[in-house]
A and B are shown apart, each in its own frame.
Chain A
Amino acid sequence: MNNVSESVLEINGLEVVYSTNRGDVKAVRGIDLDVRRGEILGIAGESGSGKSTLAVALLRLLKAPGKVTGGSVVFNPAGRSPVDLLKVHGEELRVLRWSSLSYLPQGSMSSLNPVMRVQDQFKDVILEHAPDRRNSLHEMIPRLLAQVGLEPRVAKMYPHELSGGMKQRVLMAIAVALEPDLVIADEPTTALDVTIQRVILQSLADLRTDFGVTLMVISHDMGVHAQLADRVAVMYEGELVEVGDVRQVFKDPRDPYTRQLIESIPKLGRRAS
């Protein structure tokens, strides 16, 4: 265990700006954050606080007019040397994707390619990064689907034949297919109804147990973090206002904004029941 660092990700002074014709929007303003190996780290914060921006910047999926203006993101994949995610390019970055760093996108309803069967959307990414698994695909795909509570026949279906919850689970199964070091999940439950939300949260927790992946779970819903996370980081207007053990934060929030977020949970609970 000598070259396995305790942190999977070390974010230092990350800044992201969107340059619009109405001036620059500083969406992420100097964030420092470590993601520890094997943990589930929750990122909380209201809508517009910069959570998704942080995620796509880490994943190097930031699109114009967004631009990283400062900081470093050191990534320590197991069995590979540490890299600054903000400095890798081209082939080096492409090889790193999915096998080490995968993504469960927000608004996952339209993230699957509508003209490809589910199994082919597993296949292309697996074969791209692990071509030697070609012969085990036929057992691998049903096993991954079963892991998130889906039947094997889902493999043969097209995205438009799946419900929202099923799509979300398919994406979860694809995210862990190559047993990455880190999965970044952006609002994994937001578009789903409450019963499905619980199932998805349970599956996410199971994924950590079964695959030992590190999860970064973004959600505006403090209830999600209460159920799932080990630690939680609270964002407000692009800055981190509080990071800590989830129980500690809930018991004794240091920042008034965090308290406000926590107080909004019971309301949600009442509406759901």
Chain B
Amino acid sequence: MTADAPPVVVVDESQDSAPPPSGVRVWLSRHPLAAYAIRRVGLYFVELWGALTIAFFFFRLIPGDPIQTLIQTLQQNYMYNQQASTELIARYQQEFGLTGNLFSQYLKYMEKLVLHGDLGPSLINYPTPAQDVILRALPWTIGLLGISAVLAWIFGVILGAIAGWRRGKLGSAIATNLSIALSHVPYFFVALILVYIFAYSLGVLPARSAYDSNITPGLSLEFIGSVLKYGLLPGLSIVIIGTFSWILSTRMLMVPVLGEDYLVYAEAKGLKGWRILTRYALRNCYLPQITAFGISLGFIFNGNVLVEQLFNYPGLGTTLVTAIQQLDFNTILGVTNIAIFSVLTAVLLLDLLLPLLDPRVKYWK
């Protein structure tokens, strides 16, 4: 009798509560992957908002008066009237979004950023907007660092897998020890060696700038060739060190997998070595490398400051250094925002991708 009573109550309740939400809930429980994706994307926007907010307040709290700096620059450059009129200062404060209290400044900044993609004027390039300054540098950084990072990952994972696979053999030992030695050498050190060899001693490759200044930028073969030639040394220095560190980490992930029962079983099955390496060994250890790759891709949007400085490459790293030297807050904050955006987006895409790559990754909890 008691067993009969509860179902009746349950039925009544479900009829009382509004049907549409339960309809949505039913749909979501039938599509766990979609429910997961919706929740994950929602979380992404919360994270994005939180990180952008923290960055905004963080930079506002740094001491230093950008307007004073700008006025000084203008005075020096154009021999301005000793006392800049209060009117002028007020206009600049308006333009840089420095009027009102901190909270209303924040609201105005977010409004301009979200609705118009506007970061405010850049101080060093006044009155060019900071987003224009950043967008000018962005393709160089993406081109140089993005391509280098992808190449380093591909080379590193393949070589690392082979090094793990052939552990105990001489070639593997050499590759591993070389990786241990080189993966923690700073990029710029390798860059200096490459410059010494190829630019200074042999004189075959250029070591400064992003392209030959005698060639007009455009979609010409000549220009593209020049970009590739000028990008070779900085790119190579990143690829070399990156490859070694990926070799090391892939090998480290690979070796424990090689002791697993399913590898012995694959061998007993008489499968070809290459197939065992890819389908059994690598397939079970490459996921952490995908995650790590996504995160590292996010970080390249900070620019690789030292390499870009060394090669005088017009990327985000160079822009950031110049902006910091001149207290160009809008540009600094803009570069930070791009880094935040790209790291979070990369992690989001990975989280959405991983359940599809590994059946053991549960997405419904």
Which residues from chain A sit less than 8 Å from chain B, CB to CB? 59, 61, 63, 93-99, 102-103, 105, 107-117, 124-125, 128-129, 158, 160
Q: Do A128 and B270 have beta carbons less than 8 Å apart?
A: yes
Among B264, B266, B268, B279, which residue has the most Cβ atoms of chain A within 10 A?
B268
Interface presence of B260 (CB below 8 A): yes
Q: Do A98 and B269 have beta carbons less than 8 Å apart?
A: yes
Contact check: which of A96, A107, A116, A125 meets B261 at CB < 8 Å? A107
Q: Do A114 and B284 have beta carbons less than 8 Å apart?
A: yes
Contact check: which of A61, A102, A115 meets B264 at CB < 8 Å? A61
Q: Chain A residues near B284: list those with CB within 8 A.
A: 113-115
Interface presence of B30 (CB below 8 A): no
Q: A111-B261, A114-B284 are in contact. Are A158 and B359 (CB under 8 A)?
A: yes
Q: Chain A residues near B268: list those with CB within 8 A.
A: 59, 61, 97-98, 102-103, 105
Bound-state CA distance A112–B264 (Å) is: 10
Total contacts A-B at CB 8 Å: 73
Q: Do B275 and A110 have beta carbons less than 8 Å apart?
A: no
Q: Do B269 and A97 have beta carbons less than 8 Å apart?
A: yes
Interface residues on B, range: 20 to 34
What are the 10 tightest A-B residue pairs by CB atom distance, in nearest-first order?
A97-B270, A110-B261, A111-B265, A158-B359, A103-B268, A125-B269, A94-B270, A111-B261, A113-B262, A98-B270
7 contacts between A and B (CB under 8 A): A105-B264, A111-B262, A113-B279, A113-B280, A115-B359, A116-B283, A128-B272
Bound-state CA distance A103–B284 (Å) is: 22
A100 to chain B: closest CB distance in Å? 9
Question: Which residue of the partner chain B has the closest CB to A108?
Answer: B261
Contact check: which of B262, B267, B270, B360 meets A129 at CB < 8 Å? B270
B267 to chain A: closest CB distance in Å? 6
Bound-state CA distance A96–B267 (Å) is: 12
Q: Do A116 and B269 have beta carbons less than 8 Å apart?
A: no
Interface presence of B358 (CB below 8 A): yes
Contact check: which of B260, B280, B283, B360 meets A158 at CB < 8 Å? B360
Bound-state CA distance A96–B279 (Å) is: 21
Among A95, A113, A117, which residue has the most Cβ atoms of chain B within 10 A?
A113
Contact check: which of B264, B265, B270, B360 meets A95 at CB < 8 Å? B270
Q: Do B265 and A99 have beta carbons less than 8 Å apart?
A: no
Interface presence of B349 (CB below 8 A): no
Bound-state CA distance A134–B21 (Å) is: 49
Q: Do A105 and B261 have beta carbons less than 8 Å apart?
A: yes
Q: Do A110 and B271 have beta carbons less than 8 Å apart?
A: no
Contact indicator per residue, chain B 120-147, by CB within 8 Å of chain A (1) or not (0): 0000000000000000000000000000
B94 to chain A: closest CB distance in Å? 59
Q: Chain A residues near B279: list those with CB within 8 A.
A: 113, 116, 124
Bound-state CA distance A143–B231 (Å) is: 59
A204 to chain B: closest CB distance in Å? 18
Of residues 237 to 281 in B, which have CB atoms within 8 Å of A's CB atoms?
Answer: 260-262, 264-272, 275, 279-280
Question: Which residue of the partner chain B has the closest CB to A100?
Answer: B270
Q: Chain B residues near A96: list those with CB within 8 A.
A: 270
Q: Do A128 and B269 have beta carbons less than 8 Å apart?
A: yes
Bound-state CA distance A117–B267 (Å) is: 18
Q: Chain B residues near A105: list those with CB within 8 A.
A: 261, 264-265, 268
Bound-state CA distance A102–B269 (Å) is: 7
Given contacts A59-B268, A111-B265, 10 further A-B contacts (CB under 8 A): A61-B264, A112-B262, A113-B265, A115-B283, A115-B360, A124-B269, A124-B271, A124-B275, A128-B269, A128-B275
Of residues 347 to 365 in B, which have CB atoms within 8 Å of A's CB atoms?
Answer: 358-360
Q: Chain A residues near B267: list those with CB within 8 A.
A: 61
Q: Chain B residues near A117: list those with CB within 8 A.
A: 359
Bound-state CA distance A9–B268 (Å) is: 17
Q: Chain B residues near A116: list those with CB within 8 A.
A: 279, 283
Question: Which residue of the partner chain A has the closest CB to B287?
Answer: A115
Q: A115-B283, A115-B358, A115-B359 are in contact. Are A110 and B260 (CB under 8 A)?
A: yes
B273 to chain A: closest CB distance in Å? 9
B166 to chain A: closest CB distance in Å? 14
Bound-state CA distance A107–B279 (Å) is: 21
Bound-state CA distance A273–B89 (Å) is: 93
